A and B are shown apart, each in its own frame.
Chain A
Amino acid sequence: MTEPVLAIRNLAVEFRSRDGWLPAVRGIDLDLAPNETLALVGESGSGKSLTALAIMGLVPGPAGRIAAGSSIRFEGEELVGASEKALDAVRGNRIAMIFQEPMTALNPTMTVGAQIAEAIRVHRGLGRDAAWRESERLLDLVKVPSRRRRMHDYPHQFSGGMRQRVMIAIALACRPRVLLADEPTTALDVTIQAQVLGLLEDLKREHGLAVLFITHNLGVVALIADRVAVMYAGEIVESGRVEAIFAAPKHPYTLGLLGSTLRIDRDIEALQPIPGSVPAPGALGRGCAFAPRCPRAVSRCETEPPPLEAVAPGRLVRCWMPA
């Protein structure tokens, strides 16, 4: 593998509660290579969004924080503990993020053009007019029709799909090296979803982006990802190349997610054969976090947490009883 642009080691995110700081993300390792799409999958509440927010330095404080001992290196530069100023220089410039909910992610009192131009002016130091022209070009790039007029429109005059395109335009405004896409298509209907995914794919090819793609939708994963990391209760339980994992899932949780019949157009939720739900951060037992829901669990699983181990080159599994 080439040198990763983003190297995450032992990342933990915790939240303050009555019982002290509780971990919601519990020590994950991830590498992201240039031109690569890594899919991060897992049920609701498994810590996917928090992982992306941690990379952006946007874990919601003061109740939340990145735990000591975490490391996020971007092009060799340590982001954990970096100053706000240093982070502001990276955010939206060299690492960009697209959020889950296009309807609320744009400022309702600013024109779309101004919201795109803002990032350009801050990071690329362009003047007002140059930034405006560049924003028009970006709206063109993400295929928003009649862009000249649309620049002066407000977000409420855009549909969900169009807003997500605007978000993509904002994210790409400064030609980032890494794009964090947090369920960018979940809120959109299927045809718009396909269009937005196609657009992201084109842009990725042209710009050589590394993409961390968070999703529920395994069909989407099969379509666009090179590698997959499966998250459960704040940990990575299995990772590897897409073909390998889809062909032979090792972890019972991955197996459960994929279900017996994998259909491209289905959602994890629709397939989900796993009874129960992800345990809350404070409700973890001593052993494997998945053990209470696991059909293969043995007594060791209840008492001893399994380590994340290589079972094949580039293939990691956290399980005492892998398939």
Chain B
Amino acid sequence: MLGFLLRRIALAIPTLLAVMTAVFVLARVVPGDPAQVILGDQATAEALAALRQRLGVDRPLPAQYVDFLSGILRGDLGTSMVTGKSVWAEVLAVLPYTIELTLAAILLGILFGVPLGVLAATRHNRLPDALTRVLSLAGLSFPAFVSAVLLLLVFAIELRWFPVISNPRSGDLLERLQHLALPALNLGLIMTAYITRVTRSSVLGVLGEDYIRTARAKGIGRRAVLWRHALRNALIPVATVIGLYLGTMIGNSVLTEIVFNRPGLGKLILGALNQRDYTLLQGLMVIFAGFIVLANVATDLAYGLIDPRVRAR
């Protein structure tokens, strides 16, 4: 298992390198001089030159590229142009809130999505199946920020069950859960819709497999066959989808964090964009890329745990 994990991580390195290079190039082709953006139109030539030197943007591109990569290798993502704090400090200050939100959403998605998908598959072409299909399609086609606003209107403003502004820093566990509930539900609903659909089609496929018939021929009841034989095999594609969806999830969490006014990577990105904080943006892109690669490794790992054939390869 450890060897399998190491192989997967080694395979991720070229991907990461390609992404870093893309980030570097992107940050350089963006029009405008960062020193000018920071200091404004009134800045003197000396001040601009001094800042350029401090930012390192006056050096030749290959040298900058080497600096950039070696910085990343040392774990140094530079400092924010606006606050002067290190990118890591900015990120670490809000990262736990985004992780909390994402994990809660995935958990909700699995908790609701897997049973719903199984229900739909076992009642194939009957009412529960039709209902879950319609609902999950609705869940997927609904924009995340619209559902966020609706949730706010109903549960925070009308019913007053949850706070309007999600403040993850507040008080005891119960209170924190209350603040987490609506944003997590918003993302979790999308996740549920996704997982329901994938689970449904995956279970349907697996139920037609020969080994399911073998299990029935052994005299194992329908229910036990479903849970013991079908589900484990059906979860393989579900794990993939969760992994792949993490990327999309980050985009949706940006929108969700903005609507609920909740600190996190999403709001950090928005701030960096508004303030043209190029170094922070560049650092954030590297971190996001790292996350997505990590999510992929985690997905492969989940495969390995579920499917013995993958472990062997």
Contacts and interface: CB of A to CB of B under 8 A. Distances in A.
Interface stretch (B46-54, B64-72, B303-311): B303-311
Interface core residue of A96, A101, A104, A107 (most chain B CB under 10 Å)? A107
Nearest to B306: A109
Given A104-B211, A107-B229, A109-B306, A96 B217 contact: yes
B217 A58 contact: yes
A90 interface: yes
A96 B216 CA distance: 11
B218 A118 contact: yes
B232 interface: yes
Given A105-B214, A108-B233, A109-B233, A88 B309 contact: no
Given A108-B307, A156-B312, A88 B220 contact: yes
B267 to A, nearest CB: 42
A119 to B, nearest CB: 4
Given A90-B219, A92-B217, A119-B219, A108 B210 contact: no
A101 B216 CA distance: 16
Interface in B171-230: 209-211, 213-222, 228-229
A110 B229 contact: yes
Contact of B217 (A97, A109, A123, A157): A97
A35 B226 CA distance: 35
Nearest to A174: B219
B65 to A, nearest CB: 45
Interface in A94-140: 96-97, 99, 101, 104-110, 118-119, 122-123
B218 A92 contact: yes
A106 B219 contact: no
A91 B307 CA distance: 28
Interface string B271-313: 0000000000000000000000000000000000011110010
Query: Binding site of B, secondary structure by majority: helix, strand, loop or mixed?
Result: helix
A319 interface: no
B87 to A, nearest CB: 43
A82 to B, nearest CB: 13
B309 A154 contact: yes
A154 B308 contact: yes
Interface core residue of B217, B221, B228 (most chain A CB under 10 Å)? B217
A58 B312 contact: no
Given A99-B213, A106-B211, A107-B229, A156 B218 contact: no
> What range describes how many residues of A lie at the interface?
20 to 34
A142 interface: no
A316 interface: no
A107 B211 CA distance: 5
Contacts of A96: 217
Contacts of A122: 218-220
A272 to B, nearest CB: 27
A24 interface: no
Contact of A119 (B210, B211, B218): B218
A91 B216 contact: yes
A92 to B, nearest CB: 4
Nearest to B125: A62
Nearest to A109: B232
Nearest to A53: B213
Nearest to A90: B219
Interface core residue of B209, B213, B222 (most chain A CB under 10 Å)? B213
Interface string A131-162: 00000000000000000000000101100000
A88 B211 contact: no
30 contacts: A56-B216, A58-B213, A58-B216, A84-B221, A84-B222, A88-B221, A90-B219, A91-B216, A91-B217, A93-B219, A97-B217, A99-B210, A99-B214, A104-B211, A105-B213, A105-B214, A106-B214, A107-B215, A108-B211, A108-B307, A108-B308, A108-B309, A109-B306, A109-B308, A118-B228, A119-B218, A119-B220, A156-B308, A156-B309, A170-B214
Interface of A: 56, 58, 84-85, 87-93, 96-97, 99, 101, 104-110, 118-119, 122-123, 154, 156-157, 167, 170
Q: Which 6 A-B pairs have the closest CB atoms?
A: A92-B219, A92-B218, A91-B219, A104-B210, A154-B308, A119-B218
Given A91-B219, A119-B220, A154-B308, 7 more contacts: A85-B221, A88-B219, A90-B219, A92-B219, A107-B233, A109-B308, A123-B219
